[in-house]
Amino acid sequence: MNDDVRNIVLGLVAAGISASLGWIARTYLWKRKLRRKQAFFGLPDNSESLLVVNRDPATAEPAVHRFDVFALLELSALVKDCGAHVQVVTQDAAHQGFGERTEFCVGGPGSNRRMVAHMAAMLPGVRVNIDPEPGPDRGAFRIGADLYRMEPGITEYVLLARLTAGERRETRPVFLFCGQRAITNQAATRYLARNHERLARKYGSGSFVLLLKVVNSQAYGPDVVELVADVTKPAQSALPPAPEPATQTKPQRKSHRAE
């Protein structure tokens, strides 16, 4: 074997080794990224998850708003990417506890009974105005001492929460998407899909409650979303009791007796 042939053979061997090492490295990084994603969502391989859909409050028939359908599609893609399975149930048919499998609950308390139960159990510091009558506080969020009113199509808010029940390692999280309008629910699911890696680095497997603002949805749809604040502490703290109205007592009149 002359020097030229030997150099060619050595070059091919080196290229093969480099390609193999590169493939192994990429596979390792991909698997590590997948494991982190599965841990954040509580979705190991072939696990089961629950997707609770709300109803469209604008119709008398049991229907789902089209923006909520888009939100469900975003969540289904996340579950599929983790190699898990999803069961879709309506908000009035989810008669089970939480923590056994990952749950994604979509819709505010006005359209989702399951959301009402979760907020009462795990977010005692949040109040949502579900009064159907028009008014400035319709749909408003009260979180602790702060009030967040919406301007439909201009400024709207949505809560994105990852909550766990208890301290058991195997407890599966519950993800809440509680928006003032259906389009904000989709905005929250899209925000989660785009930012789950950053959220996983910051919060790990712990709970968090984020208040998001959807900006000018009538022009930009669910795409322009701003993080307003991490409201985990006030949302999970019980609201102080409302002060009792002051009662006015009439001054006692002095009686004078004639002597």
| Domain residue limits, the chain | 42-236
pLDDT band at 18 (very low <50, low <70, confident <90, very high): confident
pLDDT for 149 equals 93
Question: Which DSSP symbol is given to 22?
Answer: H
pLDDT tens sequence across 51-84: 998 876 666 566 778 888 899 999 999 999 999 9
Closest C-alpha to 130, from 156, 105, 112, 103: 112
- The yes-or-no verdict on residue 35 having pLDDT over 80 is yes
E strands along the chain, which residues? 48-53, 85-90, 102-106, 126-128, 141-143, 146-148, 155-163, 174-179, 208-215, 225-230
Cα–chain center distance at 133: 27
Query: Residue 33: CB partners within 8 Å, gap ≥ 6?
Result: 197
Residue closest to 189 by CA, chosen among 159, 169, 167: 159
Taking Cα atoms as reference points, which of 75, 70, 81 lies closest to residue 50? 75
Above pLDDT 90, what percent of the chain? 49
Residues 55-77 as b or e (16 or more Cβ within 10 Å = b) = bbbeeeeeebbebbebbbebbee
Tokens 């019980």 locate to 238
**pLDDT, tens digit, for every residue of 126-144?**
999 988 777 888 889 999 8
pLDDT, mean of residues 175-185: 93
Distance (Å, whole) CA 18 – CA 131: 65
**Residue 249's pLDDT band (boundaries 50, 70, 90)?**
very low
- Give the model's pLDDT for residue 199: 95
Give me the pLDDT at residue 61, please. Answer: 61
